Amino acid sequence: MINRILKYFLENKLVTVLFLLLIIGWGIVTAPFNWNVGFLPRDPVPVDAIPDIGENQQIVFTEWMGRSPQDVEDQITYPLTTSLLGLPGVKSVRSSSAFGFSSIYIIFEEDIEFYWSRSRVLEKLNSLPSGLLPEGVQPKLGPDATALGQVYGRDENGNPTGGWDLHELRTIQDYYVRYALTAVEGVAEVASVGGYVKEYQVDVDPAALKAHGVSLMDVMEAVRKSNLDVSANTIEVNRVDYFIRGLGYVEELSDLTKP
């Protein structure tokens, strides 16, 4: 068959030239470059700056805040790793433990369907025996996408934007850009990287706490209760019901300093 195809193109030079021009034109139309070709339409193929060459894997994340890597390894990473070894189609299981955080990478065979492997991992996580993990610890399956697609903010000329501090950039990412990108079809998850996350910190004086007989837990409970809306009841005035509630959410730094 190949010999007949080659013979046909060798004997019909005009068809060969036309076919070659068609392939070249199709390549120009779909090329992922900024070529300004006015007489041809542009339909570039989507490409990644960093292509995904990773293995067929699923990732299980588990948080246990405030615990050392050794505690995380002994009470979370090891029990979960041994439980996930028996999944069908698993080639290997790799794990790592950090401060307050555990990551388990489940490597499947290449012929295993991606979403089938996710369902098997979810079934296994939901069927873990009670008492296997510490109380309040809940393992989570990673997103069904890679973390290789990155978006960088630049101005209309393609240069890095200036005049913004790291806190402002992170706030724009978390509250504006993230939601716009999440609404795009085919986007599984958007994760912000870098910058400073807005937070309020309470610095305590240990000597003053000891002098007044106040523990650190008392301070934490007071801050928690101060950041709370409370509901009361209704009152009727001229046959109109009014709902009474107390507004107590922290919106600015001065709200934490009020008595």
Domain range for residue 20? 1-47
How far apart are the C-alpha atoms of 203 and 226, rounded to whole Å? 16
Alpha-carbon distance values, 52 to 107, 147, 164, 188, 190 (Å): 15, 9, 32, 15, 17
Q: Is residue 98 part of a domain?
A: yes
Strands (E) in the chain, as ranges, are: 57-63, 90-98, 101-108, 140-141, 230-237, 240-246
Residues 84 and 34 in one domain: no
pLDDT above 80 (res 187): no
How far apart are the C-alpha atoms of 118 and 47, rounded to whole Å? 26
How far apart are the C-alpha atoms of 60 and 109, rounded to whole Å? 17
Within 10 angstroms of residue 181's Cβ, the number of other Cβ atoms is: 14
pLDDT above 80 (res 138): yes
Q: What is the arithmetic mean of pLDDT over 123-146?
A: 82
pLDDT above 80 (res 246): no
pLDDT above 60 (res 143): yes
How far apart are the C-alpha atoms of 97 and 77, rounded to whole Å? 7
- Please list, in sequence order, all residues whose beta carbon lies within 8 angstroms of the beta carbon of residue 63, skipping any fewer than 6 positions away: 100, 101, 102, 137
- Please list, in sequence order, all residues whose beta carbon lies within 8 angstroms of the beta carbon of residue 35, skipping any fewer than 6 positions away: 28, 42
Residues 82 and 110 in one domain: yes
| Residues linked to residue 154 through DSSP beta bridges, in sequence order | 160
pLDDT above 70 (res 145): no
The predicted-structure confidence for 203-228, as pLDDT tens digits, reads as follows: 888 898 889 898 989 888 888 877 77
Q: Is residue 38 part of a domain?
A: yes
How far apart are the C-alpha atoms of 237 and 259, rounded to whole Å? 32
The predicted-structure confidence for 100-119, as pLDDT tens digits, reads as follows: 888 888 888 888 888 888 88
Number of domains in the chain: 4
Residues 162 and 187 in one domain: yes
What pLDDT score was predicted for residue 50?
A: 64
